[in-house]
Structure formats: C-alpha cells, structure tokens
C-alpha cells in the first residue's frame, strides 16, 4: 500500500471513530495530515466524519494549493497556520466541535492563557498550555492569523463558541491529544465549584521537565 493510500485510510478510520463516539457531529470538524513530500491531505468541506470516502479527500500542495479531490474544508487557514509556524513538529492537525471544550470556551472564569486546569498529568504531557482564542465566523481567514500570532508557541488552541484545534507530530498523536483535551475539559466542568485538588506547581514542573513539554510562561 502506498503512503498516500495508507494515510487516506487512516484519516477516515480516525474520523469515523471520533464521529461514532460523539466527539463531533453532523458535518462538523476537519482533519489534515502531511505526506513525507510535504503535500497535505485534508477532509473536504461539508463532509461528515462518519461517512468519509478516502478517494475524495482533498489533496493540496505544500503551499495549500488545490491538486485533486473534493473542495477542501473552509477552515484550511487554521491548518496552514499550524504547519507554517510549527513546521518541524506538525504532521497533522485536528479540529472538532466537541461539546465540553466548547462549553469551557464560553465560561467567564476560563483562563484565556491556559484554559485547562492541571487536573491530570496527561493533560499537561499531551497538550501543554491551551490558548483561548476569540470568536471568529467559521471560515474566516483571521483564525489562521490568530494562530500565527502565537508564533508557534502552542500546539493546541480553543476557539471561543467554536471548538478546539490541535497539532501533533503525526495523525495518531494529534487525535490522541485532541481526545485528551476534550476529556480534560469534561473533567473541568464536572469538578467546577467543588474546589478540586489540582497538581501542584512542583508536580507540573516535574512533568514539563521529564517529558519535554512546551510550557511557556
């Protein structure tokens, strides 16, 4: 099986798993992944994660120009911004409209610089700090500009009233990090107002050091 055929199948497999577990619904969300030659496969606009056709995924060149397939997601600016600013560490980008993350994005006491409190070690290890970005109309290229404004310092962001976007070294890593983000958002909402015991600063620093986590001040 060729690299591109295998990656097409992997994108559809992960997307179906995400859809079946209710992490995104309807025709929401998008995934992109980079081939070894720099070309990008991305899910088409208006497509459902539950019914993707590997042969109809959009193929883009290294500059995100259309090559073949169905028209790409209208939010490709989000994806291109991560590949541009985190080129050495980004092999895939996942964007969902997952419920708990979206709920967290609209609460007034959510920390815009680090939306997820340190509840679990894995939330820190897989995500670092997650930045809350303001609301943009879906498809607005300004979303990409907002990601570029972070200068590659964050692998995950949360769009207010919209949903999370996560970049990973490959497709599997990006999907797993996204799942960790949504699960941590769920835990955050479940424990809100209950005065939970969070990881201490020294415990966080130990994780950051041991697992080489990006953790800017």
pLDDT digits (tens, 9 = 90+) for 106-152: 999 999 999 999 999 999 999 999 999 999 999 999 999 999 999 99
Q: How confident is the model at residue 211 (pLDDT cuts 50, 70, 90)?
A: very high
Mean pLDDT score of the chain: 95
Residue 19 designated active-site = no
- For the segment 44-73, the average pLDDT, to the nearest whole number, is 95
The catalytic residue among 3, 9, 19, 75 is 75
- For the segment 81-105, the average pLDDT, to the nearest whole number, is 96
Measured over the CA atoms of residue 154, residue 158, residue 159 and residue 160, the dihedral's sign is: negative
> What domains are there in the chain, each with its CATH number?
3-210 (3.40.225.10)
Q: Give the model confidence (pLDDT) of 25-36 as tens digits.
A: 888 899 999 999
Burial degree of 51 (CB within 10 A; 0-12, 13-18, 19+): exposed
Q: Give the model confidence (pLDDT) of 159-206 as tens digits.
A: 999 999 999 999 999 999 999 999 999 999 999 999 999 999 999 999
- For the segment 62-89, the average pLDDT, to the nearest whole number, is 95
Question: Please, are residues 214 and 155 in contact by the beta-carbon 8 Å criterion?
Answer: yes
Structure token pair of residue 215: 């953790």
The catalytic residue among 19, 84, 122, 180 is 122
* Closest alpha carbon to 159 in 75, 84, 113, 102: 102
Highest mean pLDDT among 1-5, 73-77, 90-94: 90-94
CA distances from 170 to 88, 109, 111, 164, 189 (A): 11, 33, 28, 17, 29
Residue 83 designated active-site = no
Q: How confident is the model at residue 37 (pLDDT cuts 50, 70, 90)?
A: very high
pLDDT at 217: 60
Query: In this structure, what DSSP letter does residue 95 have?
Result: E
């Amino acid at each position: 099986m060729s690299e591109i055929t295998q990656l097409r199948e992997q994108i559809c497999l992960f997307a179906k798993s995400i859809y079946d577990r209710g992490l995104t619904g309807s025709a929401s969300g998008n995934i992109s992944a980079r081939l070894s030659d720099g070309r990008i496969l991305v899910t088409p606009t208006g497509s459902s994660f539950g019914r993707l056709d590997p042969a109809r995924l959009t193929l883009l060149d290294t500059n995100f120009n259309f090559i073949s397939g169905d028209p790409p997601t209208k939010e490709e600016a989000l994806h291109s911004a991560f590949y541009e600013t985190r080129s050495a560490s980004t092999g895939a980008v996942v964007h969902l409209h997952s419920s708990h993350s979206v709920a967290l994005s609209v609460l007034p006491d959510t920390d815009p610089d680090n939306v997820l409190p340190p509840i679990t070690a894995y939330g820190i290890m897989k995500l670092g700090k997650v930045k809350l970005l303001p609301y943009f109309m879906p498809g607005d290229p300004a979303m990409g500009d907002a990601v570029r404004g972070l200068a590659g310092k964050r692998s995950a962001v949360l769009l207010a009233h919209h949903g999370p976007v996560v970049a990973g070294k490959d497709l599997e890593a990006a999907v797993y990090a996204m799942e960790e983000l949504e699960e941590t958002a769920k835990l955050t909402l479940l424990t809100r107002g209950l005065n939970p015991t969070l990881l201490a600063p020294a415990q966080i620093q130990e994780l950051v050091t041991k697992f080489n986590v990006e953790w800017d001040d």
